[in-house]
């Protein structure tokens, strides 16, 4: 995984305070709402909603909250209308970044994202400026406690997965083509494997190697962006040694 992908995993595992969980709930609820709005409230016929519900379960969101978010998306309950926006830019030291947002006020969100990039030595760029760096892939994370590497490989590769990575001590990472994500998810579930998360990610085709000082400044920008309520995901193409990453955010 790139440095940012690894940091995202570390941060997800450490989200223990009520404030952190609250922010995660807010972001997941938005995703469930817009998924239900665009594809209907039946997760069996709406792949995006299925993965959003999986994300909700990964952060222990109560079933009632999930159901309420779905009903807001389908119009059965009143709710806010969200718009999807993706910003492209460069962080400090030439790190390419993409910021996915769900917002009810594009002007406000644009101003806030622009301010954060500027504050931490970066700048927003025009559409298409950095998107070419990233490829869309499916990512499925599975706990190592419930399945062996051999079992997972047999099921996932036969279902169409591209690769399985085992370097994380707690999870297997399965990568798929974006179009194959839900096929592989369904096959794993059918064979009794319970994924912890399953989502579309952006994988960089090239990376920028950073030292500790440079990495710290980039991570501060990512932290601030991810703390923004309108931001759902931040993608970046930096690379640093894992032990340095753990030390910076230990």
Residue that has been written with the tokens 């379960």 in this structure: 57
Look at strands 208-209 and 238-239 and give their pairing.
parallel
- Domain assignment present for residue 123? The answer is yes
User: Are 213 and 198 in the same domain?
Assistant: no
- Domain assignment present for residue 122? The answer is yes
Give the count of domains, the chain: 3
| pLDDT for position 239 | 86
User: Are 69 and 152 in the same domain?
Assistant: no
CATH of residue 54's domain is 1.10.10.200
- Quickly list H helices, the chain: 3-13, 18-39, 47-58, 63-74, 106-119, 149-159, 181-190, 212-227, 242-248
| pLDDT for position 240 | 81
| pLDDT for position 250 | 55
- Domain assignment present for residue 67? The answer is yes
| pLDDT for position 21 | 73
CATH of residue 184's domain is 3.30.70.980
Domain range holding 99?
A: 83-132+205-239
- Kindly list the averaged pLDDT for each block of 10 residues, start to end, along the chain of length 250: 52 57 88 95 93 91 95 92 95 95 96 96 94 95 92 95 91 94 94 92 92 85 92 91 65
| pLDDT for position 160 | 95
User: Are 148 and 180 in the same domain?
Assistant: yes
User: Are 210 and 177 in the same domain?
Assistant: no
User: Are 158 and 127 in the same domain?
Assistant: no
User: Are 94 and 12 in the same domain?
Assistant: no
User: Are 142 and 44 in the same domain?
Assistant: no
Global confidence as pTM: 0.87
């Amino acid at each position: 995984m790139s440095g940012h992908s690894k940091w995202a995993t570390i941060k997800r595992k450490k989200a223990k305070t009520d404030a952190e969980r609250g922010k995660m709930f807010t972001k997941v609820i938005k995703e469930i709402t817009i998924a239900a709005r665009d594809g209907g409230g039946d997760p069996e016929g709406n792949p995006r909603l299925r993965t959003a519900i999986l994300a909700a379960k990964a952060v222990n969101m109560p079933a009632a909250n999930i159901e309420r978010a779905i009903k807001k998306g389908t119009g059965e309950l009143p709710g806010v209308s969200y718009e999807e926006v993706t910003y492209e830019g460069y962080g400090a030291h030439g790190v390419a970044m993409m910021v996915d947002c769900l917002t009810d006020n594009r002007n406000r969100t644009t101003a806030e994202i622009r301010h954060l990039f500027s504050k931490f030595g970066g700048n927003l760029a025009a559409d298409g400026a950095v998107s070419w760096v990233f490829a869309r892939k499916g990512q499925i994370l599975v706990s190592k406690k419930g399945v062996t590497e051999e079992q997972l490989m047999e099921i996932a590769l036969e279902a169409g997965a591209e690769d399985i990575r085992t370097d994380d001590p707690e999870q297997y990472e399965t990568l798929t083509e974006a179009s194959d994500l839900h096929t592989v998810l369904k096959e794993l579930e059918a064979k009794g494997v319970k994924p912890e998360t399953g989502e579309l990610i952006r994988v960089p085709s090239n990376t920028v190697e950073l030292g500790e000082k440079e990495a710290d400044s980039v991570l501060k920008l990512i932290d601030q962006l991810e703390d923004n309520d309108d931001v759902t995901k931040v993608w970046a193409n930096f690379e640093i040694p894992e032990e340095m990453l753990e030390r910076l955010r230990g």
